[in-house]
Every structure is written in C-alpha cells, then in structure tokens.
Structure 1
C-alpha cells in the first residue's frame, strides 16, 4: 500500500502535502509545531487535518505490519494461496485482516476441534454437501464409537453441527457482511439494573439509538453507566435479516435431510460464535472513536484557552537551541539569559 497516496486520498490533500507532513512527523515534530511553523512545507495544512493524518498514518503502518505477520503465519502453515494473499493485501482495516486470518489462527480446544478429534469431519462434510438421501440418523450411526465418547447417533450429529458452526463463523465474507448490517441497521440498547435507583444515568434507563447515529458523548456515558453497574448495554442486531442472509449463503439445495439441520447450525453459529464477537468489536470501535473525539475536542479547547508561546525565528530546530536566547515576552515566562 502506498500510505502517503492513501492519506492524500482520504484527507483530500495533495500527495506532496502528505509526504511533507509524514516526513516532519517522522522527524519528531509535534502537530502544533508543524501547523504553526511549517506551513510552507505542508501547504498550510491546519491542526485538525494534521492530527487526522498522524492518526491514520499510525493506523495504516500498523495495518501493513499486521498484514505481514498474518501472511507469514499462514505461509508457515503451507496454506497461503494467491487468492488469499490478494485479499489480505487489499484489506483496508484491521478487522478485515482478522476476519481473513481467523480460520488459520491457532485456536484453543474448541467444540469443533474436539468433534474433529472424534472423527466427525466426514459426517459434517456430508451434511454440508446437502446431497444425501439417506436419513441423517442412519448416516450418523456409522460414527458411533464409545471409546471416542460418541455413544449415539445424536452425539455424532451434534459434533458434526459444531464443526459446521465454526466453519460458518470462520468465513470472512459472512462476518464482513454481518458486521456491515449490524452497524447500518442495528441499535445500542440500554436498560437500568434497578429502575427505582436515582443516578445521573436516568435518561439511559430505557434508551435505544441507531449505532450509526450514536454520538460520542452518549457512548462514553453508556460505558460509564455500565462500568458502574447501573446500566445494561447491548447491541441489538437485525437478527432475522442476518439469519436469512446466512441461510441463503449456506443452504444451496432444498434437501429435507439436511436443510433443517443446517438452519439449526446457522442459528447456533450466529448466536454462539458470530454475534458476541461482532458486538465486542462494534462496542470497542465505538468507544475508541468516542475517546479520540473527546481528546481532539479537549486539545482544541486547551489551545484556545492557553495559546503556546510565540517565539522568535519560528523555533527553528536547526539552530541547535540558539533561538532560546531571544524571545518575544508575550506568554513566555522564562528565557535563557532573561
């Protein structure tokens, strides 16, 4: 990724401006210093644009580093295909990279892993193909093995369903689409643990608002109320639409032997594996956005109330500090030799 080109595109500035700003930031200059004393180099980029650029610069560099780590890990496993590499390199967010890496990330011992250890992967594959005409219970009887704790056909089917639930959960395209649907159509809902209790959070005792519209100060207030154990806060997703989407993607044939089981698998995959993870991601993203906004607003207010010292020679760093011997007295409390 050409990071400076990406920054220029996102911030709607010239690439030369982005390059100059990145160079100055990498040299250790602060954003206020660049905004005030390096206007000629950056094309007069203001403080707000420079802060956004610095934040995105850090994010994009971390993103590229994350891609390298993921590609290396998958390659070491011998599972890196040309298509997967292209998808990872094209990813524009950490979340998408994580989604693509999920099937290859070392896992704790999940229910699906235990089911595979019991030899139930072939039964899961048979259900996934949706072509069997034999009743599923009859097929599952072939996998009964008391030594592996598969005592009944129902045990075998349950294990196969666990394998398929994880398989659906690990599909990056599904997670990306479900996350988009949840952010676009979902709501943040809060309720009081004790409706009779008096607190500063009473306006959130019965509250709901669209995720896409939720203001930063409300996000932070909801988090505080939750941390103080006054509020219960949840993400309310468009579950019916999500399940319908997954069924369209997963159920390819109208087969009475497998369709009902796959619907159960889809519901389990979403409620147990996908929804909790996406709720955590969305809540974390909302909090990060709200905190960043609060910090930027605080910084602006602080600078307006307490303008920095105005120094001669525009605080020329190349002077080796010699400029400190001469300063404008306005708002400068101490000068070398003064």
Structure 2
C-alpha cells in the first residue's frame, strides 16, 4: 500500500479551468464560450440577461445552452464538495493513501464516487461489523486472500472460538468470517459496477395484485408484462411506479441469477484447492442475494427514475411554455364564466385592462335550469359594458354553459367571441394569498371567474400568479422529482416572461417577480412605489424604488416596458446601456433618436458593421437594429379560436369517423391529448400524429394548438377516445 497522504493537504480544490475544458468538450462549444458564461454567472448575472445582452461574451449562446453550462457548473461544484468531505473522512480514519486519493480526485461520476467511498463510509452495525467486534477479521483475511493454511482447518478455527466474544463454535467462527468477506466483496467498486451492468441487461416484471385488478383497471396494460430495461420508455416506467405506489401492481426485476452467480464464483475464487472453498461459494451466494443484487436493483431503479423524471420534466416544461406563450386575445372587455350546476355559474366582467367591473350568478344549468333569467342577465352585462370576448372555464358544466351562451349570442345576433378556456389551477389561485390581496372583498368563486377572463386576455400575465406545478402540464406530474420539476417549470416561466417583456406600470407582483434580477421582494416594492407615486415615466425612475440597486436595474431594465413615457426606447427591448448607440445611429442618418424607433424606412438604411465598437459588438448592434424596426414586438402567435362541433357534448355523442376540431391540451412522448369538447380528452397516438414517421410528438404539435382530428375509436365505459390527424384514412 502507498504511504498515507498528509493530513495537512487532504482538500480537493475545484478547478474552473479544468471544468471549462471538460464542459466545452461535452457540449460541443468553445472553451472561450464556457469561460465567458462561467465568469458572467459568477458575477451574479441572470440567464435571460446573459442570453439577450451579453452575446459578445458567449458568442451568441441561447438560454438552453447557458442553462446547460449553469447546471454542469452546479454539479461540478457539488461533486468537488463531496470529494472534500470524503477525503476528510477517510483521512481522519488514517486510511487515505496517495493511490486512493488519486482515485477519488479523478472520479467524475457521483455514483461511482460513492462506490469508492463505501468501504470507508461509517455504517450501522451490520453482520460483518458484529463479526469484526468478535475478533474475526484475521480469519476473514485468510478467507478473502485464500491463503494456504499452515495448520489444519479445525486447528485454525479453534483459535477464534471464544465464549466471551460470543463465538460458540467453529460454525459460528466461519459464518462470521464469511459475513465479513461477503461485505468486502459487496463493497468492491468493480463488483458493484459489474452487478449494475448485469442488472441493466435484465427485465422489469410487472403483475397485478389479485385483489386490486378491478379498482386498478387504468393500469391493465401492466397487469402481466415484462419489458427489457434497456428499451423501457420513461412514461411506461413512471406508470408502473404509480401503479405500485397505489398498491395495484407488483414490480420486480428479473435477470439470469444462476449464470451471474457462476460468473462471480469463477472470478472471486482464485484458489480452487482452498480448504474453505465450499464456505466461500456459500458466501458468494449470500453476497449476491443479500447485498450485491439488492444494491444493484436500487441503483438501477434510481437511475431509471432519474432518467424518466428528466424526460418527463422536459416534456412538462415544453407543455408549460406552450401554455404560457398562448396567444393573448388582447385588450378587450371580457366576461369570464366559471360554470357550475347546483351553485350556478359565476360571471365576472373585466375591462380592457383587466380591471374588475362587476359580477353576477346565473343558473342556466340543472337543477334550476333558469335559462330565461340567465339569458336576460348575460345580455344586460354584454350590452352595458360593450363586451366583445366571453371566456368559459372548461370544467364541470362547461359544455352545457357553452351551449347556453351560444344560443344567447345567436338569438340576439351579438358580435361576441366565445372561447373555452383551460381553468387548471384557477381554484388554487382563487383561494391563494395573491388572489385575496387582489380582490379581498370578493368571494373565492368570483375570483375564479375573473381569473378565467384574464387567462383569455393575457394567459402569461394570469398564469404566473399560480404555482407552475398546479397548472397541470402532463401525466405523472406528481410522480416525478418535485424539486427538479419546480426548478424546470420556474425556469420556463422566467424565460417566457422575459421573452415577452413586462409593462412596469400595470404588471402584478407575481409577473414582476419573474423579471430578471427582480424576485418576489423587489416586485412588491416596485408595486408599492408605483401605488404611492404614480406610474413610472421612464426606466430610470425604477432606480428610485427602495433597495433596487444598479445590479438589479442592469439585469431587469431591458425586459421592463414603460408605455407612453418620454423615451420611446423605454417601450422596447433596447437596453438603456445601448441608448448612446441608438443616438449614434440617429446622428448618422441626420435624424432624432425618437423618430428612429419603429421607422422601418430609416432603420433599413442602417448597416450594422458601421456601428461596431468596443462597447457594442456585432451581435448587439444587429439586435438593436432589429428591435428599432419592430419595437416591443410580442413573440406570441396571433390569437385564434377553436370551434367545437355543435350537438356533441358527451363522449356518447361521438361516432367513429367523425372529423372534429379540437385543442391540444397535453403532449407526451407517446402522443398528444386533445379537447374536442366532451369533458374527456382524446388521445392521438404518436403513430397517428402524421402521415410520416414521428420521433417526438413535440415536433409535430404543441399545447394550445388548434387541430382537426378523426375519431378512430370510442370506449365510453373506459372513458377512452382514440383520435388521428390522418383524416383521409
């Protein structure tokens, strides 16, 4: 063994230069791009700010690439911290030599690092630990090394028999020594890696618990199935896990245990003539069954879960982004209706800016079915407030309410657009502190109707008020790692908010909190300052907000809009630090900077290369020119409305072959779900999404997209609808 390492130098230092080279290779980027990103992150810059306003440093990396670097950096620092802890622990045991230290320092896989550390890790009293307490380690060393005996077998074992140490006889001595040897084999990093690889070539076996088949019918596809681990899709693994958690399924792992044990014996027994060969073979079987196999199962299941979680979270994040970036209906007087049966439909009117005007309760649905009075109330509100948009929540009684509204609009020839709105999370919002602060004197149900109206006017501004995990963005959402999910969804919200931009004079604290550099505390201070001093007249006035310093202003300013202020650039994505550049551009054209904003005729005469300087590289100059041409451009698509087929409100109304219009509500790895207006979403399987091979459904459709579908199969008793986008078959 090498000499013990010095206790004075056991720490592991994180090396940014080494990290940058490795990250660049892994992400197929230049070292300079990674170094620049790391430097900006260490200076406290946000990802949206770096992506939009520091392209010269990163050579144009987008948010996705920047997030990848950020995540790799966090993992590398965590790994370095863990190495420090491990090195210190082993050093304190006096077992850290140069070879072991090098092995730990060179390790790049957290799981393999733990395998290296396992033999030195403080543990509970295992069978092996008890055997060591009984003085059986020397005997275990003889067995482990398969040394040639210098005395007879019985004579050797008698040396370890001790009533004081609770080793009653030869059998107890050999059993205790074998327990130590089994643990040593099980803690060997090579053996553990071999076992995991064998497990990876195995299968997941899933079966139904006999007493649970009827109540767990939604898992019937998994009642009797075997699936190769190497080919198992993430969504199927998550479904099996949920079935097991609900007590419906029994999930296990199958592999060739007999062959694995034979291989292990051939490898671990190096002396076939050894006097204790039979005992060692039994120890190997015990090691395999009790230690190695269960450990490998746990490791592999954890790896599968992490992989499935990552894939599922990516899908959820994409769905959330599509939902947040849904086209806004815009500044129109809007009625929001939260449908219901027994308690009636709550109706709320908001003006073009979203300000609450009034509310009513109508009863057009059973059991009261007071259609005449409900129609009179709705018509009065529409005419009094000149309503042009009507949003109906898509929950309970939505189809009945929509039919009632359609009849009112048609009967009175009203110029009103009605839209079915996804109300996921609305009930959570309406009872939240945010909703109470906004509408302290209103009933929770009225707040829900207001939220439905706001979702139609501007989905992004309203949905940010709800915890992203409550919006409902995919199957198995509650089965994945919730910390990972929250982080991913919050990032999507932040990205969307900064992509669209925020009106500093109308935005809610919830919306402002997602602006780069702001956060929840500063958002509240901005709103309080605005309420006390009136609307901001320029971006510079934001610096008057208490505790909003230069760094926060630098990060946020480009994403905040001041409409109708004295500086037109304040209503664009041009950052204040680039205002001098715009003045140079205007001077070059012999114009005023204010007249340049939105003037395509003037802007088209600008040549980016003429304005590149040490303060503004070509990336920045081109972005500024693009923004001058289309100041404050909203990246969201144009608003469209899906038209559900009349006379179809229940799953029983559907017939095979029908062509319907619907809205994509969820995209998964195996297909997409569509709301066709019957209270039950239908599934377009991945094989039915297009007339060509589809690798990923997200490449074909997105949440909120309006699609035409053909009904392929209807199973009312199972509440299943199969749809296809291949309309001509």
Instruction: Name stretches of at least 5 consecutive residues in structure 1 with no aligned partner.
Output: 333-338
Does residue 103 of the first structure (1) align with residue 119 of the second (2)?
yes
Alignment of 1:82-93 (within 5 A): 82-93=98-109
Q: Which residue of structure 2 aligns with residue 310 of structure 1?
A: 500
In structure 2, how many angstroms separate the alpha carbons of the residues matched to 1:213 and 1:37?
A: 43
In structure 1, how many angstroms separate the alpha carbons of the residues matched to 2:100 and 2:190?
A: 12
Per the TM alignment, residue 56 of structure 1 is displaced from its structure 2 partner at its CA by 2.5
Q: Which residue of structure 1 aligns with residue 269 of structure 2?
A: 251
Q: Which residue of structure 1 aligns with residue 657 of structure 2?
A: none
Does residue 73 of the first structure (1) align with residue 89 of the second (2)?
yes
Q: Which residue of structure 1 aligns with residue 247 of structure 2?
A: 229
In structure 1, how many angstroms separate the alpha carbons of the residues matched to 2:54 and 2:318?
A: 19
Per the TM alignment, residue 321 of structure 1 is displaced from its structure 2 partner at its CA by 4.9
Q: Secondary structure at the match of 1:143?
A: coil
In structure 2, how many angstroms separate the alpha carbons of the residues matched to 1:73 and 1:171?
A: 18
Q: Which residue of structure 2 aligns with residue 142 of structure 1?
A: 159
Residues 46-101 of structure 1 deviation map (CA, whole Å, 9 limit, x = unaligned): 44433333332222221111111101111111100111111111111111111111
In structure 2, how many angstroms separate the alpha carbons of the residues matched to 1:118 and 1:44?
A: 65
Q: How many residues align?
A: 330
Q: Which residue of structure 1 aligns with residue 181 of structure 2?
A: 164
Task: Report the structure, 1 or 2, having the larger helix content.
Answer: 1
Q: Secondary structure at the match of 2:217?
A: coil
Residues 268-309 of structure 1 deviation map (CA, whole Å, 9 limit, x = unaligned): 112111221221122122212221222222222332343334
Alignment of 1:241-320 (within 5 A): 241-255=259-273, 257-307=275-325, 308=496, 309-311=499-501, 319=554
Per mean C-alpha deviation after superposition, the further-off stretch among 34-43 and 123-132 is 34-43
Q: Which residue of structure 1 aligns with residue 196 of structure 2?
A: 179
Q: Secondary structure at the match of 2:159?
A: helix
1:151 equivalent among 168, 186, 203: 168
Task: Report the structure, 1 or 2, having the larger strand content.
Answer: 2
In structure 2, how many angstroms separate the alpha carbons of the residues matched to 1:132 and 1:30?
A: 68
Instruction: Name stretches of at least 5 consecutive residues in structure 2 with no aligned partner.
Output: 1-14, 326-495, 503-514, 517-550, 563-569, 573-631, 636-729
Q: Secondary structure at the match of 1:108?
A: coil
Per mean C-alpha deviation after superposition, the further-off stretch among 129-138 and 185-194 is 129-138
In structure 2, how many angstroms separate the alpha carbons of the residues matched to 1:200 and 1:294?
A: 20
Is contact 1:217–1:290 with CA below 8 Å preserved after alignment? yes
Residues 235-285 of structure 1 deviation map (CA, whole Å, 9 limit, x = unaligned): 324433432342233211111522221111111112111221221122122
Q: Secondary structure at the match of 1:234?
A: strand
Q: Secondary structure at the match of 1:146?
A: coil
In structure 2, how many angstroms separate the alpha carbons of the residues matched to 1:30 and 1:293?
A: 25
| RCO higher in structure (CA 8 A, sep ≥6) | 1
In structure 2, how many angstroms separate the alpha carbons of the residues matched to 1:44 and 1:238?
A: 51
Question: TM-score by structure 2 length?
Answer: 0.42
Per the TM alignment, residue 116 of structure 1 is displaced from its structure 2 partner at its CA by 1.6
The 1:68–1:10 alpha-carbon spacing in structure 2 relative to 1, beyond 3 Å, is same
Is contact 1:144–1:150 with CA below 8 Å preserved after alignment? yes
In structure 1, how many angstroms separate the alpha carbons of the residues matched to 2:197 and 2:288?
A: 15
The 1:321–1:171 alpha-carbon spacing in structure 2 relative to 1, beyond 3 Å, is closer
Residues 295-333 of structure 1 deviation map (CA, whole Å, 9 limit, x = unaligned): 222222332343334349x9896647555332356559x
Question: TM-score by structure 1 length?
Answer: 0.87
Is contact 2:243–2:249 with CA below 8 Å preserved after alignment? yes
Per the TM alignment, residue 38 of structure 1 is displaced from its structure 2 partner at its CA by 4.1
Residues 81-133 of structure 1 deviation map (CA, whole Å, 9 limit, x = unaligned): 11111111111111111111111111211111111221222222222233238
Q: Which residue of structure 2 aligns with residue 336 of structure 1?
A: none
Q: Secondary structure at the match of 2:218?
A: coil
The 1:230–1:159 alpha-carbon spacing in structure 2 relative to 1, beyond 3 Å, is same
In structure 2, how many angstroms separate the alpha carbons of the residues matched to 1:23 and 1:303?
A: 28
Is contact 1:186–1:237 with CA below 8 Å preserved after alignment? yes
Q: CA RMSD in A?
A: 2.8
The structure with more radius of gyration: 2
Q: Secondary structure at the match of 2:252?
A: strand
Q: Which residue of structure 1 aligns with residue 571 of structure 2?
A: 327
Is contact 2:205–2:251 with CA below 8 Å preserved after alignment? yes
Is contact 2:46–2:555 with CA below 8 Å preserved after alignment? no
Is contact 1:133–1:257 with CA below 8 Å preserved after alignment? no
Q: Which residue of structure 2 aligns with residue 335 of structure 1?
A: none
Residues 130-177 of structure 1 deviation map (CA, whole Å, 9 limit, x = unaligned): 323866455323322223222221111111111111111111121122
Alignment of 1:103-142 (within 5 A): 103-130=119-146, 131-132=148-149, 136-137=153-154, 139-142=156-159
